[in-house]
Chains A and B, each alone.
Chain A
Amino acid sequence: MSKLGITLAAGLVLGAATGAAQSTARFRITPSFGVIRFDRTSALSSTTSGISKLWASAGLSALYQFRPNLHAGFYLETSRPSTSPDYFPYALIQTAGKYQLFAITQRVVVLSYGLSAEVGVPVLPKFAPYVRLGLGRHSVYEDVQQENSVKTVNGMEFVAGAGLRYTVGNNVGVQLEAVDFLWKDWNRDVLNPTQPAYQNTVFPEDNPTGITWSKPSLIHNMRLALGFTFTPASGGTR
């Protein structure tokens, strides 16, 4: 589905949900904040094993309640990670008869958006675990100054996750959610900030080992976030 198509679909759902919420209070808004650990082969993490590298993330979702346990709607997630030099040949610069090797990174903006649905399973009156599935796109906006151009990398993504929601009042709650944003056809080399002519081939032993890492076409970006839910049509939290 194209980026425009998703946006239109999301708008329709959001509009329908908003209209419905004005009269039935079935529309739920959830801002969320958390951390995301990008796939270790993505070049947005690092070659360090374990947790590797965590980046702050923020998100917003607007879900319409179709059934008591089924919500569906639009989601938007963003983060601002830096690329890791561990996955690219170093920059080899010759000046005045001398070489120097540089590890160069760039900060990028990652945007995820699309449609998702949640199915909750109430186990207690105010406590409900749920699972979440979705489909959307990811956009990675590279650093304009370093790339010397406006460059964006886009691709499809799938969303799969689960969470726990605790209802504080009638229309307010908090939730803790773990979600895997699966990026399809990801190629980390597009994030290399060094032009090919300056990439180090003279001292290849000094290049980071990550340049030989595999490049799976489907990568897993795990996000853990704390969300705050409210239903505006019912008067919000006032």
Chain B
Amino acid sequence: MRLTRASRLAAVVALAGACAHNDVVDVITRDGSNTIVAINLAPAAAGLPNGTRAVNRFILSSFDTSAYDAFGRASANPATFVREPPNGPCYGTTPLIYEPGTAAAVATYVPPNRYLPAIVTPVTIQDAGCGTATAYIVPGGHPGNGTGNTFWEFWHDFTGAVASTRYITGLVRYAVQARGAFDQSEILQTGTVTTPDSLVFMAGDFNPAGRKARDAFVACGSASIAQPVAGANPMLLGSDTTRSGSVDIDMTACDTNGVWFNGVGSPASPVPSNDLSMNTKQYNFFVIWVAKADSTPDYTKPVYRQQIGPLLTTTGQVINNSFAPVPAAALTSTQLATRPGGVSRPDTMRLTFNVLEPLSTGAYQVFLLRSGTDTAQVVTGRVIRLNGATAVDTANGVTGFNTVAGVTTGATVVIDMAPYAAINWSAATLAIGASSGNTTLPASQPIWTTSVFKFAGQSASLSGSLAFGSFNKGTSPVLFGAAGSGTGGVFGTELREDVVRLARPPVGYVYEAWLFNSSDATKKYNIGSLLTPYPGLQSLDDADTRQTAPLAGPEITQAAIRAVAQSATFYCDYDKVQVRLAPRQNAGALPAAVILSSGSSKGLGVTGCP
């Protein structure tokens, strides 16, 4: 019986214990400290190596007319789409198609006539009252013709007309019957045409329509206005007869019948964009002909012909390099060198490199390369070492250089490109070589440009910025950018930072962890390289090329910073923790490139600092 009672009592005690509820939370202490001031790191991206490229001029090697718009004459708008010169006396400042094609006032104007059929008794466009040659195509809806108008205007006033002769105007869609070299390419390269091409109508595309009666400047409501006709070619636009030695034909065409677009930039605009987008409903010439007795044009007697769109083949394809207007003269060699079709080299090239850390061993060198190949050549040039932007000293005919801590921070390398003209170099890179006598392209190629020679299809650039990262011979260049973050702080006597998602350093570069005093530059401490995550804590000095765990991808996913001091007061001299970037051969100076930085915290938050 006693046992039974004892068992019941024990059960009650056990149940009471089971219902107790006392949670335990202990604060962890290290070296007498139980709080850690947060020292978190954020991207800084300050003081990264950089540079510029400058070219005096390009020297033409060859010209490739197969490049799109090889002469650089295409435009999204119609040709000569400009404000009426000089300051819009008649039509204001809204652009219109002004055939002389210049912003300056032109009193008279005769366009170049390079095609067959040849111009007979060429006329000269004269000033009809606006202060400059009157040769306008005013798009529908242009505010110069009054708000809300819906008509296109074609106004030409010319002298040189035969007395008592009737002339008629029209828009024409011509194809080119080529003979020999394409006329425009010949003109632009040589200034002459060996065998003129002919302007012809494509098969089935000769459908004259429009207005043959005397011109009339009227609104759409007038019966005298020209009505666009779908498929018309040419689209005739009114006529007039010589009076007092001149002719003035000012005709409006209504754009509200669904055939034409009210303005430019549309496939239904009668005047096309000056590029390869022209279609076979648009027109590429404005022509004035001598009219026959019934006012139809005598197509063998054009007296004025202005190209307003690109040319077509006889099968209706837009011809590259045929953009309006017909050129008047050849481009100079210097001009051709910089146009899209030009293949050219710089005469001299100046590469300026900034923020170059002094190297303990080796030298900075400049190499020319054929990107993606093993073709590379070290450059012999003039090196002007800089302190900021100030020249410090100059060395001629050298293949390498170094900087000096506190004296020089970069250099300009001036390269005479004539000795290197035999190969079409596509890139130039600063490299860190084993010595200034090195002739083999080193793996470390941190600063580069891919603009050296100008190739067909490229735009010419006389200056630009250099890229920083890993050029990798141009096979797979990787631009470097500061990224990542860090969390941590000083716990007891140890500084610990957990760093994540840093970009790999450029090949030949390493990350260094530093303690830094932002108000006293003499107080700095190199903690050392980044480490693999705990518990490994191995050096990541090879993070630029390492392909084994924990590094396999394009970034350092996780890393650590560790500093152990004898006493927490060691940290009192500093207020920032930073991750900086330096060449592997860094001579020991505080690198200028700051990748991650903490905010300022006196003594890194250690209590008891003075």
Contacts and interface: CB of A to CB of B under 8 A. Distances in A.
Interface in B500-540: 533-535
A6 to B, nearest CB: 22
B422 interface: no
A85 interface: yes
B28 A99 contact: no
Given A103-B26, A205-B534, A98 B36 contact: yes
B34 A100 contact: yes
Q: Which of A78, A203, A236 has the most B CB atoms < 10 Å from its CB?
A: A203
A58 B30 CA distance: 40
Interface stretch (B15-23, B77-85, B408-416): B15-23
A206 B17 contact: no
Given A168-B3, A206-B28, A99 B36 contact: yes
B7 interface: yes
Interface string A84-106: 01000010001001111111111
B509 to A, nearest CB: 26
A156 B25 CA distance: 31
B11 A31 contact: yes
A69 to B, nearest CB: 23
A136 to B, nearest CB: 19
A236 B10 contact: no
Interface size class of B (residues with CB under 8 A): 35 or more
B28 A103 contact: yes
A107 B11 CA distance: 19
Q: Which of B21, B28, B496 has the most A CB atoms < 10 Å from its CB?
A: B28
A172 B498 CA distance: 65
B37 A102 contact: no
B195 to A, nearest CB: 80
Interface string A199-212: 00111111000000
Contacts of B25: 102-105
B7 A109 contact: no
B293 interface: no
B35 interface: yes
B18 A78 contact: yes
B20 A31 contact: no
Interface stretch (B371-379, B483-491, B548-556): B483-491
Q: Which of A57, A174, A228, A230 has the most B CB atoms < 10 Å from its CB?
A: A228
B203 interface: no
Contacts of A174: 3
Contact of B36 (A106, A203, A236): A203
A238 to B, nearest CB: 7
A180 to B, nearest CB: 21
Nearest to B497: A202
Nearest to A168: B3
Given A98-B38, A101-B27, A33 B498 contact: no
Contacts of B1: 237-238
A187 interface: no
Which 4 residue pairs across A and B have the least CB separation, nearest first? A101-B28, A58-B14, A99-B36, A204-B534
Given A97-B37, A174-B3, A203-B36, 14 more contacts: A58-B14, A99-B36, A99-B38, A102-B26, A107-B21, A107-B23, A143-B23, A202-B488, A202-B496, A203-B488, A205-B535, A206-B28, A228-B3, A230-B4
15 contacts: A33-B11, A78-B14, A79-B18, A82-B24, A90-B28, A98-B489, A99-B35, A99-B489, A100-B27, A103-B24, A104-B23, A146-B23, A202-B498, A228-B3, A237-B4
